[in-house]
Structure 1
Amino acid sequence: MLRIGYVRLRDTRSSDDTAVLKDLGCHVVRAEEPAGPMADDSAVLTSILDFIGAGDQLVVTRLSHLAPSSRGLLDVLSRLEARSASLYVVESSISSEGEGGRARSAAFQAVASDEPPWIDRRRRGAPADDIRALQAAGVGPVEIARRLGVSRMTVWRKLREIPA
């Protein structure tokens, strides 16, 4: 059984997690810096989930390292289950193995089904280049906001950042 540790480096406490995972006997420990405060585009986690084999175990120190929402967590759990691998969370001693793991998975599914569908959707700000190009073309801030699907305040903030 291969134990693979995974850490999302979000704060100073996360940097200590790498040592904790090595002390727990993880053969491999991978860490990554997320793109944003609640980013779910974790290339390292995706590669681990693609690589992990039957009987292997993914080890994280906190459940929040896996996904920003319960729907994302369910996705990780289903991918592990499809590969006959398991999950172990150090901080709360949660494991996805055995009957208890199936019960926990059912509890996560119940929470996810109660979660509003828009919880995963994050607003992406419009790129300053797009705003700048539209302004140069003579389009006003209100129309720029409408065309790019962002708020007028976002457009005004980006315009203020652009050097005159």
Structure 2
Amino acid sequence: MFIGYARTSTLEQEAGLAAQKRDLDALGCDKVFEEQTSATGERPRLTAAIDYLREGDTLVCTKLDRLARSVLHMGEIVNEIRAKGANLRILALDMDTSTPTGTLLLNMLGSVAQFEREMMLERQREGIQKAKEAGKYKGRKPTVRAQSDEVLGLHKAGVSPTEIARKLGIGRTSVYRILNAAETPA
């Protein structure tokens, strides 16, 4: 039985998720688990897909980067799949761990994918640093500080920090940060 797994990192990537589901359906996956979450966070649907596997099943994913974030992580996933007597198939690589060649390719290509990801992050950090040096990168605009006047006004009116946070829809830590900044002389 083919069990599909599809993932995108953000909710805005609807087209990517639809394309993955289309490819998994075309292969004939009996069940498809999908989620929209970062690879670095919790992935309950991946866990559910692996739990669903039975001996002889194959977990199918369209691309390796949809499944694992590093060689170590990939190895952990493959070990879980193998412990169930199942296999892994990556469509974009035409790779299947039911064969020794497929396992070899998975390990080699997993290393290359991790290397490329690390290089991309390094280039991104360098680009941000250059933009900062050129005065073109300011970072994320502070959103809570724009509510400083409201926080201070409510505090002066005797409203507790917890209640201020609830009313304004911000974190208590942000309320305390604003209050502490207002009490500290410049």
Residue-pair matches, total: 127
Q: CA deviation at 1:85?
A: 0.7
In 2, the alpha carbon distance for the partners of 1:99 and 1:28 equals 26
Structure 2 matches for 1:1-164, cutoff 5 A?
2-10=1-9, 11=13, 12-34=15-37, 36=38, 38-104=39-105, 106-107=107-108, 128-136=171-179, 138=180
- TM-superposed CA distance for 1:15, in Å, is 1.3
CA distance in 2, matches of 1:110, 1:128: 40
Q: Structure 2: how far apart are the matches of 1:61 and 1:108?
A: 14
How many angstroms does 1:54 deviate by? 1.0
Q: Identity over aligned residues, as a percent?
A: 22
How far 1:42 sits from its partner (Å)? 0.8
In structure 1, distance between residues paired with 2:92 and 2:105: 15
**Alpha-carbon distance in structure 1 between the residues aligned to 2:64 and 2:110:** 15
What SS is found at the alignment partner of 1:6?
Answer: strand
Tell which deviates more after alignment, 68-77 or 102-111.
102-111
Deviation at 1:39, TM superposition (A): 3.3
- Please state which structure has a larger fraction of its residues in helix: 2
Looking at structure 2, the residues matched to 109 and 19 of structure 1 have their Cα atoms a distance apart, in angstroms, of 24
TM-score, normalization by structure 1? 0.64
* Deviation of 1:109 (Å): 8.0
Structure exhibiting the larger radius of gyration computed from Cα positions: 2
- 1:43-78: CA deviation from partner (whole Å, max 9, x where unpaired): 000111122111100011111111222222111111
Please report the TM-score for the alignment, with normalisation by the length of structure 2.
0.57
Cα distance in 2, alignment partners of residues 133 and 19 from structure 1: 49
1:58-112 CA distance string (max 9 Å, x none)? 0111111112222221111111111111011111101111211342355478779
2:81 counterpart SS class? helix
Q: Is the 1:7–1:14 contact (alpha carbons within 8 Å) kept by the matching residues of 2?
A: yes
Structure 1 segments (4+ residues) deviating >4 Å: 108-112
- 1:28 Cα deviation from its structure 2 partner: 0.6
1:129 and 1:18 mapped to 2: Cα distance? Answer: 41
Query: CA RMSD, aligned part only?
Result: 3.0
Q: Is the Cα contact below 8 Å between 1:62 and 1:89 reproduced in 2? A: yes
Structure 2, unaligned runs of 5 or more? 122-169
Deviations 1:138-159 (A, max 9, x none): 379xxxxxxxxxxxxxxxxxxx
User: Could you list the runs of 5+ residues in structure 1 that have no partner in the other structure?
Assistant: 120-126, 141-164
